[in-house]
Structure 1
Amino acid sequence: MSKNEIVREVAMGVRLLQQSFDAFDEAAATALKLNRTDLRALDLLLSDDDALSAGELSAALKLSPAATTTVIDRLERAGLAGRIQDPHNRRRVLVAATEAARKVERDIYLPVGVAGAEALAGYTIEQLATILDFLRVARQVQDEQATRVRASRYQSDHA
């Protein structure tokens, strides 16, 4: 196989992997009766050991403050997030994952991590380092392309 053919195969593999991530997220969202934006917010709350401010959540989700408030309200109604007072600033409210959200993490997401770790166990340290490098590069490319699309005229021309 030529290098170009391998690059095309890798690109197709990444595309299929992204589709499988998308299918998993859709299944999780459906199981939890959440929409995908709410699921992204929940993921952010679960991945951060500390509570986040609504502003931090807005920035990470790239949503307006009003839209973020709506997301927080839905997560709160679902019992997956709660508003808490910032212990360092009484005027600031933080958003934290609840114990019910931590149970969701254990029941839905932890098995994915375990299965992934088992799948990676057969690789050498050098191979894992290459995979890690690829993931970093791929994420950088995706982030750059998302920025490009957000800044493009195409978005306003097709709104």
Structure 2
Amino acid sequence: MSKDSMIREVATSLRLLQQSFDAFDEAAATALKINRTDLRALDLLLAGGDPLSAGELSAALKLSPAATTTVIDRLERAGLAVRIHDPHNRRRVLVAATDAARDAEHVIYAPVGDAGAKALAGYPAEQLAIILDFLQVARRVQEEQVIRVRSSQRRPNRP
């Protein structure tokens, strides 16, 4: 197989991988009875472990403050997040994942991590280093493309 053919095959495999991630996220959101934006917010709350301010959540989600408030309201109604007062600033409200959210994380996401770790254990360290490098490069390329697309939306339309 030529290098060009292999690059096309990698690109196709990446597209299919992205579709599988999307399908999993949709299944997780459906299981939790929330939408995909709420799922992204919940992921942020679970990932760091520490509560986030609404402003931090808004910035990370790239949503307006009003839209973020709506997301937090929905997560609260679902029992997956709670607002708490910042112990260092009484006027600031923080958002934290609930125990129910952590239980859901364990049920839905822990098996994915376990299966992934088991699959990766079959690779020697040298190949894992190549896989890690590829993933880091792929992420950087994708982030650059996000910036490119967003910046093109700010420019006037060109014929």
TM-score range, shorter chain: over 0.9
The CA RMSD measured in Å over matched residues stands at: 1.4
- The total of aligned residue pairs comes to 157
SS in 1 for 2:93: strand
Note the C-alpha offset of 1:49. Answer: 1.5
Counterpart in 2 of 1:116?
A: 116
What 5-or-longer segments of structure 2 have no aligned partner? none
Counterpart in 1 of 2:128?
A: 128
Counterpart in 1 of 2:22?
A: 22
Residue correspondence of structure 1 range 6-155 to structure 2 within 5 A: 6-153=6-153
Runs of 4+ in 1 over 6 A off after TM superposition: none
Please give the TM-score of this superposition, normalised by the length of structure 2: 0.95
Please give the TM-score of this superposition, normalised by the length of structure 1: 0.95
Q: Distance in 2 between matches of 1:144 and 1:126?
A: 27
Note the C-alpha offset of 1:153. Answer: 3.6
Q: Distance in 2 between matches of 1:97 and 1:155?
A: 38
Note the C-alpha offset of 1:28. Answer: 0.6
Q: Distance in 1 between matches of 2:2 and 2:88?
A: 59
What 5-or-longer segments of structure 1 have no aligned partner? none
SS in 2 for 1:107: helix
Give, as a single letter, the amino acid of the residue that structure 2 aligns with 1:125. Answer: A
Quick one: percent identity of the two aligned structures?
77
**Taking structure 1 as reference, are residues 152 and 89 closer, same or farther at Cα in structure 2, changes over 3 Å only?**
same
